[in-house]
Structure 1
């Protein structure tokens, strides 16, 4: 008995909700949950995880994360760490939205 091969369903391309989720996920802090991102995008948390199973979504997310890291690295040389106290660093990271107060 031979098994039938399943036809792969053509997935629609990523839309504005996908791209918004990618942006939020790439720039999320430790205080941002998947529930928060799902609520912002207007889908369920489960739907976000389904999207993450898509190869094109994962690829776009990796690219967005790499771009965000490059942005941070470009800003880092502007900090003078010599004689910089902990409060100044905390204010910088809050301003850069990398840390919440």
Structure 2
């Protein structure tokens, strides 16, 4: 009889994750190398975090909060659910080139 694979649970996001989210959601954003150096982690760790669904969700929320804080009277007509959508939003708004 084959053994069942145990699925390991991923630990929840911690302060270091949220610090990375804060740095990634700044406009204009720094590159991954600068952010990883500031946080004292490797660039590959930051890339792996970007692939996590929970990290991606929190990053989208942080970007949405910062956009709304900058333009409180404007209604957002954009769906900002994925990093690609957020990047398109910043390019269209002229904040990124």
TM more than 0.5: yes
Give me the CA root mean square deviation: 2.2
> Which of 39, 53, 57 in structure 1 is aligned with 2:37?
39
**Unmatched segments (≥5 aa) in structure 1:** 77-97
TM-score normalised by L of structure 2: 0.66
Larger Rg: 1
TM-score normalised by L of structure 1: 0.64
Map of 1:1-101 to 2, 5 A cutoff? 6-29=5-28, 32-74=30-72
Tell me how many residue pairs correspond in the alignment: 75
- CA drift of 1:64 comes to 0.3
- CA drift of 1:53 comes to 1.2
Deviating above 2 A after TM superposition, structure 1's stretches of 4 or more consecutive aligned residues are: 3-8
**Unmatched segments (≥5 aa) in structure 2:** 75-94
Report which structure shows greater RCO (CA 8 Å, sep ≥6): 1
Structure 2 CA distance for aligned equivalents of residues 44 and 75 of structure 1? 39
Structure 1 CA distance for aligned equivalents of residues 10 and 57 of structure 2? 15
Cα 1:45/1:66, change in 2 over 3 Å: same
